[in-house]
Amino acid sequence: MTMKLGNRRYTDELSAANDGEQVCIAGWVHEKRDLGGVFFLIIRDLKGLAQVTLHRGNVDAELFRRVKRVPRESVVAIEGRVKSEEKAPAGYEIIPERMEVLSEASPVLPLDTTDKVVAELDTRLDARFMDLRRERVKHIFIIRSRVLKAMRDFFDEHGFIEINTPKVVSAATEGGTALFPISYFEREAFLNQSPQLYKQMLMASGFDRVYEIAPIFRAEEHDTTRHLNEATSADIEVAFATMEDVMAILEELIAFVYARIADYPGLSSLGVDLEVPKLPFKRITYDEAIEMLSEAGEHIEWGEDLSTSAEQMLGEMIGEHYFITDWPSAIKPFYAQPSAHRSDICDAFDLMHPRLELASGSQRVHSYELLKSKIESKGLSADSFEFYLEAFRYGMPPHAGWGLGVERLLMSMLEIGNIREVVLFPRDRRRLVP
């Protein structure tokens, strides 16, 4: 008779206090240990591990043989009685009465889920479905889910409206060639680099505070541990706001997310002791950054973007989250508002973790004429952006916003070295499957 899996209990729902209860558990065969007269079957489910103990002579001989034969990583359901046992991993064991093999695994596995044999990252990504069975990897993605929920809770508490903007577009967000072209019926279209243009257009609608958490696509030929060609970005746009206003929102969000995750038990499997960053974050100008770098022996020409080595050097000197503000206009997008104090800089900022850049944002240009001239000054055609510019003709309030890389936030929080570790199925210049 097939077991009633609707009555299944998760392993963390059981303890020594359930001694004597008849239960059903189901999951994967994590390990098998044969000690001669005693055989241990370790069952793994989403919540943890349970020890199933068979004493030769005390259980049905056929059941004993079937349990010994079942391959590791097979999916099984087991009925039996809970027995208090101090030596068992969770303080209890299950004495089985029945076992049903729901899906038998091939005896040759693509990787070891117990972590006794370490697999290379490419091997793990090729067999991601099995890599996710590993304790450490499982917790990365549970944390990712909790981070996304924390972000939405934060935005909701701060009066934001969630939006969904197109991912198939007719023009580049910021110009340039880092676009994935696609065939769109009789026309060429592109995968969107950012929701930037659309979230700005919504500032003209009276939706004063909007956010989106969604994929972005960049056809950049990077092959580093920090770049992806499909990533997840958390974006906001706020009307009647300045650069400082949205910087304050950003640092509050980061602290909020850290606080939500800091007491998650699975952090121990990652070897991470998460400390909530103190507010406000340090702020330095671009000019101050290149001066600090110059004093440390790293020369940056004024008007150049900061190299990876320069960012890492600054991070080592500052040692905590910080903002770089007042960037040269030439290296920031056309929609960044020129500074009221200097003609060659704009009201733009980057949020930095000591290891890498996490977010960038700015006060936006809200004047139609100025925005059009700035588009053209970047060598772009204003006609290609007419759908966007049109929103600035009929009453556009001052506004500001930013975009935050979700994967980079996770990398920095969890002290993970490769961004691919925090994406279920990463897309980079070499990987298109699975």
Phi, psi of 286 (to 5 degrees): -55, -45
Specify the DSSP class assigned to residue 141: H
**Residue 426, preceding peptide bond in cis (omega within 30° of 0):** no
- Across the chain, mean pLDDT equals 95
- At residue 118, the pLDDT reads 94
Residue 2 pLDDT greater than 80, yes or no:
no
CATH fold label, 130-422:
BirA Bifunctional Protein; domain 2 (3.30.930)
- At residue 364, the pLDDT reads 98
Class of domain 5-103: mainly beta
Q: Are 315 and 281 in contact (CB under 8 A)?
A: no
Query: What residues does 338 pair with on adjacent strands?
Result: 346
Q: Token pair 């067999």 is at which residue? A: 127
pTM: 0.95
By DSSP bridging, strand 180-184 and strand 161-162 are: unpaired
Rounded CA-CA distance 398/241 in Å is: 6
List Cα–Cα distances, 244 to 241, 288, 333, in angstroms: 8, 18, 18
Rounded CA-CA distance 27/72 in Å is: 11
Nearest to 323 by CA among 365, 277, 364: 277
**Residue 280, preceding peptide bond in cis (omega within 30° of 0):** yes
Cβ neighbours of 222 (radius 10 Å): 13
- At residue 203, the pLDDT reads 98
User: 218 in helix, strand or coil?
Assistant: coil
As a whole number, mean pLDDT of residues 132-137 equals: 97
As a whole number, mean pLDDT of residues 218-228 equals: 92
Q: Where are the domains of the chain?
A: 5-103, 130-422
